[in-house]
Amino acid sequence: MHAKTPSEKIYCLISDRLRLLVKNGMNIRLFASICNAFSKCLPLLSIPCFPCLKFILFVMLLQYKKYGLGKPAVIILHGLMGSSKNWHKIGTELKKSYPSLIPDLRNHGESFHGIHSISAMRNDITALLDSLSLDKIHLIGHSMGGMVAMMLAADFPGRVESLTVVDIAPEANIKNTLPIFNPLISLDLTTIRRKDDADSLLSETIPEKSVRHFLLQNLKRQEDGDYGWQCNLPELYKFLQDNDKFMLNPDAVYNGATLFIGGGKSNHNLPAHKKIISHHFPNHQLAMIEDVGHWVHFEAPAEFLNLLTNFLAQEN
C-alpha cells in the first residue's frame, strides 16, 4: 500500500470531518452540496476521484425496507425504540396496492447513530427522498415518526401527497416516556446471558410483557457474544431528558388531506387535541379505534389497514 501524498491526506481529513458533521446533525442535503463542490476541486489538488465521498454519503442515508414493485408511493415512519420490522405486516399488505418504503430512523434499527432531534430526522427523510428521486409521497408516521411526518408535511407540503398520523398530536409531552427508559439505562448488560434474563430484570419496573417484548427487540447479541443495544440508547435517553414537549411551529400548516388515527385506550387522547389538530391540519379527518392503546397498527391491524387504505384510495 503506497504512502498517502499530502493532497490525499487533505482529502481524507476533509472527508472524515464532513462525515462527523453529518453524524452530529448537519443537514445531509447541505453535506451533499459540499461534497459536490469538493469533488470539483479534486483535479486541482491532483487527487484521483475516489468513490469515498459517495460512500460517506451512502452510509449517512437511512437504511430501509421496500415492499412491492415500482416506485414507492408510501413512506412509513416508525416510533421511538421501533424499527422498520415493526411495520412488516402493514407493508406486506399495503404493497398489493401501494409500493411502500419503511426506513429505520436515525439511532434505530440498522441506520446510523448521531444527534437525535425531530428536525434532524425530518432532514434525513428529505435526503432519502432526494436520493431515490421521490418528488411526492403519501407519508405515514406513528408516535415519534408522526412528529417527524407532521413537521415534514408542514415544512415541505409540496412533497407530501397525503399525511397519516398515528396516535400522536401536534403537541405531545416527550418526557412521559422517561419512566420506561430509566430501567433500560440501568440494566447491567454484562449480567445478561439470554434475553429472558433481561426480561426478568425489567419485569419489576415494566410490568406489561408486550411493552418489554417491544423494547427488547433492540437488544442484540454482539460479535463478542455479549448483548448490546442496537439502537443508540444513550442518545435517545438524552433526547428525552433535554426535551419537555414536541410542538409544531405556531405558524406551521399543512393544507393537504390528513388522517389522524388514535387508540381509544391510549394516553395520547387525540380527541382532546382536536383544536390544535384543526389549527395545523385544517383538512383532516380523525378516526378512533376503540379498545386499543398506543400501538394501534399492531393491536388492530385489520381495522387500521381498512382506515388507511380507504383514505389512500380517496387521495389517489
> What does the pLDDT read at residue 244?
87
Q: Is 190 exposed, middle or buried (CB count within 10 Å of its CB: 0-12, 13-18, 19+)?
A: exposed
Whose cell is 429505520? That residue is 104
Sign of CA dihedral 196, 106, 304, 93: negative
**What's the fold here for domain 64-170+248-315?**
Rossmann fold (3.40.50)
Q: Which three cell numbers stand for residue 268?
A: 395520547
> What does the pLDDT read at residue 8?
52
Total-model pTM: 0.83
**CB 238, CB 181: distance < 8 Å:** no
Q: Is 285 exposed, middle or buried (CB count within 10 Å of its CB: 0-12, 13-18, 19+)?
A: middle
Query: Going residue by residue through the chain (316 aa), what tens digit of pLDDT does each one get?
Result: 455 555 555 545 555 555 555 555 555 555 555 555 554 454 444 444 444 444 444 446 899 999 999 888 999 999 999 999 999 999 999 998 999 999 999 999 999 999 999 999 999 999 999 989 999 999 999 999 999 999 999 999 999 999 999 999 999 998 888 889 999 999 999 999 999 999 999 999 999 898 899 999 999 998 888 999 999 999 999 999 999 899 999 999 999 999 999 999 999 999 999 999 999 999 999 999 999 999 999 999 999 999 999 999 987 7
**CB 203, CB 196: distance < 8 Å:** no
Q: Report the length, in residues, of the chain.
A: 316
Q: Which three cell numbers stand for residue 81?
A: 425504540
Cα gap 133→59, rounded to integer Å:
18
> What does the pLDDT read at residue 177?
87
DSSP three-state, residue 98: coil
> What does the pLDDT read at residue 49?
45
